[in-house]
Amino acid sequence: MAETRMTAREEPPRAAIASLFTGIFPAATSVHRPSLPIHSFSQARGPHIIRVVSTRPSLLLPRTPVLTVSCSDTILSSFFPASYLTMYRHFFLLAAIASLASETLAAPAAGISAQTARDVLTRRAPNADAIKPHSRRVIEPTTWDPPANLTTPLEEVWQHELDTYSDALGFMNYGYDQVIANNGKINYCVRWESTQVSTAADRATIAEALNRSVGKWMKWLYGYDDFPYTDVPVTVTGWAVSDRALLEGDTSGFTVYTDTDADGIPQCAESCGRFFHQDNDYSGCAVGADGHYDMSLWLTDGMGEAGTGGDWGQRVSTEYFLETMNDDSVHIVLHELGHTFALDDFYDWTPTGITNFIMLAGSSMVITDFDGWMLRDWWTNLKGRYDLSSVSNATDV
């Protein structure tokens, strides 16, 4: 089947958006908890790319067509409260529009599994003035030397990211930026959107799983192209819960928050969050700068095998994480961490000759060489923004 691509460039009126939304999610109590089963979605705050994979086959496009829907932030902000800064509501609104439109394009695709389901992709139409051609910096062979069979697909991926991200090399809150700003460390907040009681043992294992997952990505940078650290440890500095009674046992090693976001979901204090203070000014953080958090692990009851990731952190199902946190590779978290470090999804295309890697959802349970070299490519192209000679705790590499 030939590829079908639709682009909606006219901004729908507010009433039409509301009609589409209520038609798709009539049983939803709020935008972020739709009745539609979502399998996978991701959002990067800088590139403004949103992708959805549904577990409901009747809402899926066939494997070849791709649907693109654009809607300006102005329209979206008029529909939702301006105070909701993280744009999750925007995401589900566009997901609703795309899902509805997909049913008009194709018959139900029965039997498609969650692992092989085609996504519905929605992307804000980029500002042509914001996208400028960038060339790869000249890289010495001793630093940029991927295996020959990866050279072409890596070039394809890099160019695709430059072409499709709204400001690929201008966005300043990728995971790399967070690691450098925090002197080679990553601080986490755990957002416990759950009614389960968290034991001290489980919390320790969650911290270990985060360290292990981050380490699996970071090992590709240790000793590579002036990356200034040989270890990037993770510290859980806070837990956000709806009720302190959900935290069983000793809680002296972190700050307990009962703050919420605009939808009433537990969230560590915004005054302590890197996402909200990308200038590293944590003067308003009650526990001090050392207790700030760079990103969040957001654990939500009932999400199944869904996942989302971006510069703010990663979100997965509570049940999934607790069941897999002792595994060597918690693969959905690894995939979402890839988004935190600027890596893209590959739902509508695949690079030449590469069919199995963690960022191609469902194709690999582990980080592959191709994933690692994509990570290295980003570091090589971003490292010029840092004064590495003055980086704290830097080591000679």
What would the two tokens of residue 71 be? 């809607």
What's residue 321's pLDDT?
A: 99
Name the residue with higher pLDDT: 389 or 27: 389
Separation between Cα atoms, residue 52 and residue 43, nearest integer Å: 10
Contact 283, 269 (CB under 8 A): no
What's residue 392's pLDDT?
A: 65
Check pLDDT > 60 for residue 2. no
pLDDT more than 70, % of the chain:
63
Contact 210, 236 (CB under 8 A): yes
Average pLDDT rounded to a whole number, residues 234-248: 99
Q: Which residues, in sequence order, are CB contacts of 70 under 8 Å at separation 6+?
A: 7, 8, 9, 122, 123, 124, 125
Q: Is the Cα torsion angle 254, 257, 260, 264 positive or negative in sign?
A: positive
List, for residues 79-123, the tens digit of each pLDDT value: 333 333 333 444 444 544 444 444 333 333 333 233 222 222 222
Catalogue all structural domains in the chain, each as residue range(s) with its CATH number.
Answer: 5-123 (no CATH), 175-390 (3.40.390)
What's residue 393's pLDDT?
A: 61
pTM greater than the 0.85 cutoff: no
Q: Which residues, in sequence order, are CB contacts of 362 under 8 Å at separation 6+?
A: 114, 115, 116
- Split at pLDDT 50, 70, 90, the class of 143 is confident
Least confident of 61-70, 311-320, 322-331, 337-346: 61-70
Residue length of the chain: 397
